[in-house]
Structure 1
Amino acid sequence: MQRRIAALVLVPLLLVAGCDPAGEASGQPSTTPLPASSAPVTTTSSSPPGSTVPSGSQAEAAPCRTSELKISVQGAPGGGAAGSTYAWLVFTNVSARTCSLYGYPGVARLAGPEGPQVNDPLDHMGATTPTRVVLAPQASSHAVIQEGHPEAFEPNCHAVAIAGLRVYPPDETAAVFVPFAERACSAKGVDVGFVAPIVAGLSE
């Protein structure tokens, strides 16, 4: 009689021990969700209205399209030094959304709005590391252009007048003509000039 009672007690205990709501008893991994606090969290820097924000994580800011930018040229502070002249290629977000720019613009000199191209495109200036720049609507950023004095490269320079620049924003295949009257070497590879990566704002 005692053995029968013990058996009746043991069976429910075994059934309870074999029940695993997380699926561990069946050999399957638990599907219990992690707490929300364990998910990765990304933050961005805050900034005053109309400013630009460099940030390491900007998945929310898609790249700026050529049609969303106004591109112009202005003199750089100081103008030039050590046989070079400097200018700023300015990119202003004229769209209604926030977008981002990363890297070097493509820049070539043109004899007129429709061409032809004069000399080779500007080389990349390697002294500055590119960073992603986030542009709020109406905010601006810039890239430095460095050029030599054409007369310093004669008689191989063959300086000619140019009317402006053909500019491609980073990762874009559509270009715009930016008026910029100057003289430049027409001989291939002579005093080609340099363009730096785009940086935030309109200060040095």
Structure 2
Amino acid sequence: MTSSAVSRSRRHRLRGTAALVTAAVFAVSAPAVADGQSAALGGESRPARARPTVVLVHGAFADSSSWNGVVARLQKDGYRVVAAANPLRGLPTDSAYVAAVLRSIQGPVVLVGHSYGGAVISQAATGNSQVKALVYVSALIPDKGEVLSSLSAKFPGSALDPALRRVPFKNADGSTGTDLYVAQEAFHAVFAADLPRTTTSVMAATQRPIAAAALADRATSAA
């Protein structure tokens, strides 16, 4: 693929993701237009709904900067955006953290998750009436009781598992765990094949690992 074709592919992906999110925020905001028309036609005036805040949650091997292209497009359209820093330590921990971020935001929220982030938003949004829409971008969407690794295994053909590097670590309390990284030499092909290698080489070097235990976690709720 030529560099110009890669550039077009990247722009297409960003536009597609931004369009998907914009469709959700428009659906949440649409009654404001109807309310305004009602008032203009002499009907009873009702307060317009506030524009939602878009909260973006990244998945494994990434950080919140992976949303930069989508953030720029949404901000250009006048939306307030928060790209949450997903801890990637496990579904209970990560969903509780994102839930706390959601509680800090006033007004309606459109919540977006990519990859593992889809599982996180499903659990984080449970019981939060401010979350008006969930958007899944190539994401896991577990039902209550489903285990993430079992859900992924339903669809064979992934090149991810053979490319994983397992790095043990020790917690402050003496317990141990394992972090999962994508091997740098495989990162481009496995994680972001539509981007230039100059970009993916930086992404590979700065990737955020996910705790292996997270993939064994069971979803306790599904918004």
TM-score, shorter chain, exceeding 0.5? no
Instruction: Name the TM-score, length of structure 1 as normaliser.
Output: 0.25
Instruction: Name the TM-score, length of structure 2 as normaliser.
Output: 0.23
Judging by fraction of residues, say which structure has more helix.
2
Between structure 1 and structure 2, the one with the greater Rg is 1
Judging by fraction of residues, say which structure has more strand.
1
